[in-house]
Amino acid sequence: GVVLALSGFQNPLRSQLRAAALAMGAAYRPDWTPDSTHLICAFPRTPKAARARAGGGLLVGPAWIWECQRLQRRLPCGPYLLDGSASSSSEGEEPEEAPPTPRPRPA
């Protein structure tokens, strides 16, 4: 599951992000911990972001939370990754579905 921490957000936005994530089943940590999987951050160049990167975490923007909430499902992190984070093909990340390959039409 998702275990997240937040970085760079002030209340009320911080509490809104936390509440949205918890409502979808994520666990919250007030700081980056060894069991954390995602850091939702406003800025990718902070000490907390550096700890998350060093711990193999995914750094994503807040849009990831809002879009997951809007669609009521966990979305791949790829489009929401912030600079310097692991790629979307990281272990533990759900693969994105490839678009169907167009088939040539008979002549």
Model pLDDT, residue 39: 97
Provide the whole-model pTM. Answer: 0.76
The rounded distance, in Å, linking the Cα atoms of 6 and 28 is 8
At residue 65, the 3 state secondary structure works out as helix
Q: Encode pLDDT of 33-50 as tens digits.
A: 999 999 999 998 999 999
Strands 27-28 and 38-41: unpaired
Domains of the chain in sequence order: 3-80 (3.40.50.10190)
